[in-house]
């Protein structure tokens, strides 16, 4: 009986891997020759699916997935009593730096306001300026511009309007995370890329991961695949310096699994702060809820027939990058579709994989 059960499980596993391969192949064929990677991993279910099986360069730009890591660094600083979430930005940053960014009194804006996207500051990356022009269009006019923190904040101050008062509404954006990154650098007397190396990448053995900010491209240890913003391949452009709020991180699917295992396994922050990140208080859009530096996917809000799908936690990036974890079933999902144009198809792929694995687990 045990032998029969073991054989049946192996057959189910082979069938699951075969069907995951078919899904990945179909998605890749529609990816318009952009970078494409999938990794699904579960130690609990002895599952490891990587596509494509052979990759000449698995390194990719993770985009806003980096907000998970920035949040971890902030919470580590809280746990070592270097700051508190209730601390005001003005406790650490000059008044002139904060002036003109907020509708509310700048002296009232806290670290937590920024991490939870409730400070009211405009988003320099995806928001529009006072003339209705997007930041992406503007930076592509001068792709060799090396953006500094001050330049990004000046753009918000001079060309954008705050989205609301402090705490008034959830408004996702990069500007608040840029500000808390600057606070972090101030209290630690180190640059963000150094902190990522010392507190996350090196301790976890993430050997193929690096922050590009302050170094790109002349001192980059790891060169990523193509990076597509709309119709523009920008891997060699200085405008990648705009991604300072997320750490400008390049990584691999395998390295992101190492991060997720440590993060969800309690090796990076304590339980209280892990729970705080899951205090769902805003909606990025239908189906994507937001806590503190972390997202939760509600598939039933994408389509009613997915109402029994598990909720995944993690983050997405504008380049159609995904880093999610199914806490109920101990399954990690990493996806890179390599372009801002492939976000919808990347979610279709993720939904299909989650549904396929759910069906496979139910049949055991």
What string of pLDDT tens digits covers the 364 residues of the chain? Answer: 444 455 556 658 889 999 999 999 999 998 878 999 999 999 999 999 999 988 777 899 999 999 999 999 999 999 999 999 999 999 999 999 999 999 999 999 999 999 999 999 999 999 989 888 888 888 888 888 889 999 999 999 999 999 999 999 999 999 999 999 999 999 999 999 999 999 999 999 999 999 988 765 455 566 788 999 888 898 888 888 899 889 999 999 999 999 999 999 999 999 999 999 999 999 999 999 999 999 999 999 998 888 899 999 999 999 999 999 999 999 999 999 999 999 999 999 999 999 999 988 887 6
64-207+232-242 folds as Beta-lactamase (3.40.710)
How distant is the alpha carbon of residue 308 from its chain centre?
25
> CB–CB of 155/131 below 8 Å?
no
Is it true that the peptide bond before 52 is cis, omega within 30 degrees of 0?
Answer: yes
Burial 169-197 (b: 16+ CB within 10 A, else e): ebbbbbbbbbbbbbbbbeebeebbbebbb
Dist. CA 287–CA 122, nearest whole Å: 23
Listed in sequence order, the DSSP H helices in the chain are 2-29, 66-79, 95-98, 111-115, 135-141, 149-159, 175-188, 192-196, 253-264, 271-277, 343-362
- Position 2 scores a pLDDT of 47
Annotated domain spans of the chain: 2-62+246-362, 64-207+232-242
3-state secondary structure of 312: strand
- Under 8 Å between Cβ of 210 and 60: no
Please check whether residue 109 is in contact with residue 98, taking contact to mean a CB–CB distance below 8 angstroms: yes
pLDDT for the residue 306: 83
Q: What is the pLDDT of residue 4?
A: 46
The residue whose two tokens read 């930076």 is: 139
Cβ–Cβ under 8 Å, residues 70 and 80:
no
Nearest to 28 by CA among 18, 19, 37: 37
Q: Do 356 and 245 form a contact (C-beta atoms < 8 A)?
A: no
Question: Considering only CA atoms, which of 173, 247, 186, 181 is closest in space to residue 214?
Answer: 247
Q: In the β-sheet with 321-326, what is the strand arrangement from edge to edge?
A: 47-51, 37-42, 331-336, 321-326, 312-317, 295-297, 288-290, 282-285
Which residue, chain included where needed, has tokens 């902030």? 74
- Looking at residue 216, what is its pLDDT? 52
Q: Residue 121 CB: number of other CB atoms within 10 A?
A: 33
Best CA proximity match to 260, nearest among 338, 313, 316? 313
CB 70 within 8 A of CB 259: no
Residues 283, 289, 295, 300, CA torsion sign: negative
The residues, ordered by sequence, that sit 6+ positions from 260 with a Cβ below 8 Å of its Cβ are: 314, 323, 325, 332
């Amino acid at each position: 009986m045990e032998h029969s059960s073991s054989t049946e499980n192996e057959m189910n596993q082979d069938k699951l891997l075969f069907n995951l391969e078919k899904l990945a192949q179909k998605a890749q064929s529609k990816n318009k020759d952009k970078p494409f990677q999938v990794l699904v991993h579960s130690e609990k279910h002895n599952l490891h699916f990587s596509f494509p099986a052979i990759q000449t360069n698995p390194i990719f730009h993770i985009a806003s997935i980096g907000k998970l890591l920035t949040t971890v660094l902030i919470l580590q600083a809280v746990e070592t009593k270097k700051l508190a979430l209730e601390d005001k930005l003005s406790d650490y940053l000059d008044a002139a730096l904060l002036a003109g960014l907020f509708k509310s009194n700048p002296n009232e804006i806290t670290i937590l306001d920024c991490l939870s996207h409730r400070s009211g500051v405009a988003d320099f990356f995806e928001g529009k300026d006072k003339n209705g022009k997007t930041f992406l269009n503007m930076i592509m006019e001068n792709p060799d511009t090396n953006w500094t923190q001050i330049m990004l904040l000046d753009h918000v101050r001079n060309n954008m309007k705050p989205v609301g008062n402090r705490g008034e509404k959830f408004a996702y954006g990069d500007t608040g995370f840029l500000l808390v990154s600057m606070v972090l650098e101030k209290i630690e007397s180190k640059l963000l890329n150094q902190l990522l190396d010392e507190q996350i990448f090196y301790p976890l053995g993430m050997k193929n991961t690096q922050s590009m900010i302050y170094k790109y491209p002349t001192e980059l240890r790891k060169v990523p695949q193509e990076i597509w913003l709309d119709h523009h391949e920008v891997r060699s452009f200085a405008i990648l310096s705009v991604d300072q709020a997320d750490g400008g991180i390049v990584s691999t699917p395998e390295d992101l699994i190492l991060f997720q295992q440590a993060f969800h396994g309690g090796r990076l922050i304590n339980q209280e702060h892990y729970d705080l990140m899951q205090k769902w208080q805003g909606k990025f859009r239908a189906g994507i809820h937001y806590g503190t530096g972390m997202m939760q996917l509600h598939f039933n809000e994408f389509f009613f027939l997915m109402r029994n799908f598990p909720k995944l936690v993690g983050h997405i990036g504008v380049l159609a990058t995904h880093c999610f974890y199914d806490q109920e079933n101990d399954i990690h999902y990493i996806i890179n579709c390599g372009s801002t144009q492939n976000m919808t198809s990347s979610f279709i792929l993720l939904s299909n994989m989650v549904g396929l694995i759910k069906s496979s687990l139910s049949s055991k």
